[in-house]
Structure 1
């Protein structure tokens, strides 16, 4: 089958690789090079880099204007496959391919339509999330779906879920393409009454707060990403908490907002219990285990912590 693939971030790479191995990917459409790291240099999107490595033609565009749509039309795709491309797709584009356009979405639709489904599932304390293969429709993430896979969230970080769902999404995408090709795909319309919206996560939402519940702070840390990290101040210094756990019965009593150190461990008092950082990234330093971080905190034993 002739396929145009549209995607940008690392999440989309497994899907591109799987499609390229099974079908004729005639064009890869991605967002233009951008500053993506602290080096402040223009870098290709992960999809552009992988497409070039696979020897596939690449079109870079910020939006699907008439010129970009003409470029897609020129390669005569049977189907358009979209994975986190990064902009709204016009109806004119959706009509280019005879079999339409499908999308890999990182949630169990209709729950968590929108930009940040994986982080929102974690922040909401959802027990399960997953992947949906859906038709691209005029309204955002509103199309019918033909395949879904559910996975437990548990204590998986956002990064771990991204990787897991990217792999599952690639497998399900290839399976969906095969079913669409032979006419066996079964489509399920979304129930509007069950729709929730996964708005982009703002940095301010991820600030850890001693006056919030332990579980709330722990979910922020679990959902943390480089774009929206879980941060606080400990002893007056900024730090990103990369990994943490709600402390068990062996933890000392720690008053709300206080910091207690002991035996290579750090304990932060929250409104209803104690949070124990396990990995941290102090401002201006590399990521380290909390057992190493505690050595630099010893001079401030008995300090306080709060919002960054």
Structure 2
């Protein structure tokens, strides 16, 4: 098929490669413009742009699509069979949605209609869901409201992190979109019941509230690593928390370090052991290594 691909982050790269490997003619790749990154703030292309250029596929990265008449006319003139969208980051105007013969298909990292929106992977873990998955959807003008063409679940376990789930769903989505293009399954409307929305994350979402039960904090750490990252403070210094483990219940004031190995009291008399922690300017390290350089004594209150 003659297609356009639209995506930006690492999540979209496996699908781009799978479509190319399946023999489809990828006329153009749309992605977000290069952004400043690193200490020098040099412009860095998106992972999708990097891969597209490696594959020799032309890349476009308009700042906007709404009211971009020249861009819409160019897109319509490409005589596309379909456009594949995966975490692109821009809303497609109706004229663009309607231009390809088979419209635009989205690879969405949830079991729709649950977790429509910007952060479905993190939201599923935060909510304590026991499964996530990928839905291939026919795009319309709504926010992830289009008819479903395929949906495949994957389990969320007590050790699932945003990173592991992201990678599993990215690989699954790549396989599924190739199958959907080959099989052309009939569309099925999304059910009206069970709709939830995953809002865009901010850095503040990572702040740990130690009055929450240990189970919820554990989910927060697993859901928000690597970005925006779960964190607490100590004497005004931000400490990122990379991994925790739930311990047996015992009483203690929320946020209080209970011993010299970073076991911390949480809400409802629940307890967490911090396993990985990071101070500013350093890499993530295990708690034992961290404490050799910065001991934290029992009775210390985190979140201060």
TM range (shorter): over 0.9
Specify the alignment match of 1:97 in structure 2: 100
Q: If the length of structure 2 is used for normalisation, what is the TM-score?
A: 0.93
Cα distance, 1:226 vs structure 2: 4.1
Which stretch shifts more, 202-211 or 142-151? 202-211
Q: Secondary structure at the match of 1:293?
A: helix
Partner of 1:78: 81
The answer (yes or no) to whether the contact 2:7–2:87 under 8 Å persists in 1 is yes
* Cα distance in structure 2, aligned partners of 1:293 and 1:282: 8
Q: 1:20 Cα shift?
A: 1.0
Structure 1 residue runs without a partner (length 5+): none
Q: Retained in 1: the 8 A contact 2:97–2:103?
A: yes
Query: CA-atom RMSD, angstroms?
Result: 1.7
Q: Provide Cα deviations, 1:63-100, integer angstroms capped at 9, x if missing partner.
A: 22222222322322110100011011110001111111
| Aligned position for 1:7 | 7
Question: What is the CA-CA distance between 1:279 and the residue it aligns to?
Answer: 1.3
* 1:59-138 → structure 2 map (5 Å cutoff): 59-64=60-65, 65-138=68-141
Q: Deviations over 1:120-170 (max 9, x none)?
A: 101111010010000011101000111111111112111111111000000
Tell me whether 1:247 sits opposite 2:247 in the alignment: yes
Matched, 1:270 2:266: yes
Change (3 A) 1:134 1:36: farther
Q: Which consecutive unaligned segments of at least 5 residues does structure 2 have?
A: none
**Cα deviation, residue 254, structure 1:** 4.8
Correspondence list, 1:36-51, <5 A: 36-51=37-52
In structure 2, the partner of 1:211 is 211
Q: The residue matched to 1:149 in structure 2 has which SS?
A: strand
* Preserved contact between residue 106 and residue 130 of structure 1 (Cα < 8 Å): yes
> In the alignment, which residue of structure 1 is the partner of 2:182?
178
Stretch moving more, 229-238 or 284-293:
229-238
